[in-house]
Structure 1
Amino acid sequence: MPANLIKQTDFDAIIIGGGACGLMCAVQVGFLGKRTLILEKNDKVGAKILISGGGRCNYTNLYASPKQFISQNEHFSKSAFAQWTVDDTISFFETYGITGKEKTLGQLFPVSDKAKDIVQVFTNLCHDLGQEIRCEADVKSVEQSNGGFEVVYEKHGRETRLSAGKVVIAAGGLPIQKMGATDFGLRVARKFGLKIIDTAPALVPLTITGKDQQWYEQLSGNSIFCRVWNDRASFEENILFTHWGLSGPAILQISSYWKAGEFIYIDLLPNENITQLIQEEREVNGRKTLLNYLSGIYTRKFAEALSGYLPVDKNLASLSKTDFEAIDALIHNFKVKPAGDKGYDKAEVMRGGVSTDELSSKSLEAKKVPGLFFGGECVDVTGWLGGYNFQWAWASGFVIAQNL
């Protein structure tokens, strides 16, 4: 069906994507007395906000800084984070009735524990500030035209063509397809000749296959506080054994720094020395078996699972130097070679994306395409687990708004 030509003169910009970045951008533009139109593919805005943190929305992190972000250019995010700080995020939401409460590691959640309250702030403000939102609008193309852009979208089988001087691509990344995620932002960037950094799932569970799979399956449901590392990063948080491999916060974190074919390493008792602990215990009770001792540190199920690697039936008094070396190596240097990851549908975010070389760090405008801006997840700026990616979304939305 041919698109209807509608010459729009009352929108200063069209924002493609009604997620965290797009919503913040629209609101901040409204504060500046300008008007935007948000085109959202889903039947409501903020779909990923609503499911984040188990529906509670970890909307920022008190310790967010460029250090917690992965990018080909580690300095790129500094400008955005200087323009919109964590304090700005906290103040913004407090102004509109959202008080934060800190959980672990600086993670900030609404006191209400309701992600919908975060989305409500934006929908109310968009309404009050005259920012228009059109949902179920599937954008088909973005073209340059007459010094600006034409955007074609389809809704209920009908195509509409809009024009605007500026366009913001805030369409997110590839996770999670059932939430409407697509590669639209990357396709637009490629169309305009912008470089893309290879993308991959990030903050994603890792899979174990082959001869080791059964060992992990038997431990499904066991959660252990660990240090997980490779030669790029290290994290101390819980890991979770599953029937298909490993998950939990520490695994999700290291996954962003892992590549197929590589090992990761796990210290199953961080900040302790297992050899010293056992030696202290055997002075008191040398007849205790290694199995019973380990069952006091871990679950019985996990201690029993170590029987394939350690002499768990021996009593502590009879452990040899070789036994201690094996125990130390296993507990403090557990070596894992994942087969892969659970893919975009189980990933929290995407790493890679539109190359930061193509964008102004001060405005997030494409250097080659004046008037075209990229923000949020589709840019090659990927944060850690724990509210960091929301902070980038808010900051990038704010920065773009100042330059529309």
Structure 2
Amino acid sequence: MDADAIIIGAGACGLMCAVQAGYLGKQVIVLEKSDKPGAKILISGGGRCNYTNQFASAEQFISANPHFVKSAFTQWTVEDTISFFETYGIQGKEKTLGQLFPDDKNAKDVVAVFTSICEDFGQEIRCNAAVNNIEIFDDYFKVSYEKNGKTVVLTTEKLVIASGGLPIPKMGATDFALRFARKNGLNIIETAPALVPLTITGKDEEWFAQLSGNSVFCEVSNDEIAFEENILFTHWGLSGPAILQISSFWRRGETININLLPNHDVLALLEEERKTNGKTLLSTLLHRFYTRKFTDALGKFLPLTKPVAALTKAELDLIAATIHHFKVKPAGDKGYDKAEVMRGGIDTSEISSKTLECKKIPNLFFGGECMDVTGWLGGYNFQWAWASGFVIAQNL
């Protein structure tokens, strides 16, 4: 055998798996299609890398089996992630909502931690190595890949597929794991872009486009869940943290609700203003909470030039409905080019939650994004990658 294990994919899961295998004295070869390891890590968080979340638990993950991640998160906790990176000089700093970023370092430093440890342990990372065939035998695997126009063949008793999902194809993302799983009779949960901006077309397109660049703190919800964070208007629709979050739960054709003032009751504000200064224009009151441009845009729906004392019952109802129940029916999403992760993937029922070994194919392991495990925005998907890489390494 050429190594104790071959890992396909030098992303977050594959790199953690290689490092943890090294701690256990196991030699691995990591095959990476791109020209450098950790390509997606390097662009995460605008290059700053939101590498975990202090509140990560099974509650923040979408899966046909929501309990699947619990075992891995027991074996490798958020505290383990924090301690691991602190050991190698990366101190976490909370930005918001439990999101941890390197305090005085960045994504390059995160990748360097793994490449340095791999070098110390003699773990090989072979880049520009696009796997084109895997043969499965009774007690070993034969893996073939292209390198400089030549086919290289490796054999191993243990195989790890951590090749990621479909988002950001320009970074080298492919459907390799999904194709391999289908070819070998494993069930796939329908995939779709997740943590992705949503598009607006038709009669409302111009209204949204004119607000491009405006950011508003909102509560965005559907019948399933609600998120309180900023939304960002763009020339093609909506983005920002709250929109990315709800996109993972949104299905084409559905309407989402936006509360444009989640921490206030607009009717109570109007009543208070009416008592103190009824001559205040509605636009003046709203401008206390929004930019002038956004306030003016609300004039399409609301009587902005009316004094608050002169507002009728029907107008008050309209204001409350517009501010607290602004309905949006997205036309679609921006696709895998702009998605941060993939929803769906290899059915977790095909995989042991304790070891991440494939039930139908012994000594084959899956980890990271290729599986039907999708985290919220904010470091959750990295926590799953680290945890799954650790768990696999313990069982190689």
Q: TM-score range by the shorter chain?
A: over 0.9
CA distance in structure 2 between the partners assigned to 1:52 and 1:112 by the alignment = 16
CA distance in structure 2 between the partners assigned to 1:272 and 1:294 by the alignment = 12
Q: 2:356 is matched with which residue: 364, 369, 379?
A: 364
Within the alignment, does 1:351 sit opposite 2:364 as a pair?
Answer: no
- Other-structure match for 1:340: 332
- Extract unaligned runs of 5+ from structure 2: none
- Other-structure match for 2:152: 160
Task: Quote the offset at 1:145 in angstroms.
Answer: 2.4
Within the alignment, does 1:48 sit opposite 2:77 as a pair?
Answer: no
- Other-structure match for 1:62: 54
Q: How does 1:103-182 map to 2 (within 5 A)?
A: 103-182=95-174
- Other-structure match for 1:322: 314
Within the alignment, does 1:14 sit opposite 2:6 as a pair?
Answer: yes
- Other-structure match for 1:100: 92
Q: 1:196 is matched with which residue: 188, 205, 223?
A: 188
Q: Which amino acid aligns with 2:208?
A: Y
SS at match of 2:288: helix
CA distance in structure 2 between the partners assigned to 1:80 and 1:293 by the alignment = 50
- Extract unaligned runs of 5+ from structure 1: 1-8
- 1:132-178, Cα deviation, whole Å (9 max, x unpaired): 11000001011102521111100111111111111100000001100
CA contact (8 A) 1:216 1:245 kept: yes
4+ residue runs of structure 1 moved beyond 6 angstroms? none
CA contact (8 A) 2:2 2:154 kept: no
Q: 2:301 is matched with which residue: 300, 303, 309?
A: 309
- 1:286-316, Cα deviation, whole Å (9 max, x unpaired): 1121112211211111111111111111111
- 1:212-251, Cα deviation, whole Å (9 max, x unpaired): 0000011111100000000111100000011100000000
Q: Which amino acid aligns with 2:196?
A: V
Task: Quote the offset at 1:271 in angstroms.
Answer: 2.0
In the superposition, relative to structure 1, how do residues 334 and 113 fare at CA in structure 2: closer, same or farther (>3 Å)? farther
CA contact (8 A) 1:55 1:113 kept: no
Within the alignment, does 1:395 sit opposite 2:387 as a pair?
Answer: yes
SS at match of 1:265: strand
- Other-structure match for 1:257: 249
CA distance in structure 1 between the partners assigned to 2:104 and 2:246 by the alignment = 30
Q: Quick check: 209-218 or 292-301, which moved more?
A: 292-301
CA distance in structure 2 between the partners assigned to 1:367 and 1:117 by the alignment = 36
SS at match of 1:150: strand
Task: Quote the offset at 1:190 in angstroms.
Answer: 0.8
CA contact (8 A) 2:61 2:375 kept: yes
CA contact (8 A) 1:256 1:351 kept: yes
CA distance in structure 2 between the partners assigned to 1:267 and 1:113 by the alignment = 36
Give aligned pairs, total. 396
CA distance in structure 1 between the partners assigned to 2:104 and 2:9 by the alignment = 26
SS at match of 1:345: coil
CA distance in structure 1 between the partners assigned to 2:263 and 2:103 by the alignment = 32
SS at match of 1:353: strand
Q: 1:382 is matched with which residue: 374, 378, 386?
A: 374
CA distance in structure 2 between the partners assigned to 1:354 and 1:143 by the alignment = 19
Please tell me the root mean square deviation across aligned C-alpha atoms, in Å.
Answer: 0.7
Q: 2:284 is matched with which residue: 288, 292, 316?
A: 292
- Other-structure match for 1:6: none
Q: Which amino acid aligns with 1:246?
A: L
- Other-structure match for 1:214: 206
CA contact (8 A) 2:33 2:128 kept: yes
CA distance in structure 1 between the partners assigned to 2:74 and 2:138 by the alignment = 34
CA distance in structure 2 between the partners assigned to 1:192 and 1:369 by the alignment = 9
- Other-structure match for 1:23: 15
Q: Scaled by the length of structure 2, what TM-score is found?
A: 0.99
CA contact (8 A) 1:57 1:113 kept: no
- Other-structure match for 1:234: 226
CA distance in structure 1 between the partners assigned to 2:319 and 2:290 by the alignment = 14
CA contact (8 A) 2:2 2:155 kept: no
Q: 2:215 is matched with which residue: 223, 245, 250?
A: 223
Q: 1:283 is matched with which residue: 257, 275, 280?
A: 275
Within the alignment, does 1:185 sit opposite 2:163 as a pair?
Answer: no
Q: Scaled by the length of structure 1, what TM-score is found?
A: 0.97
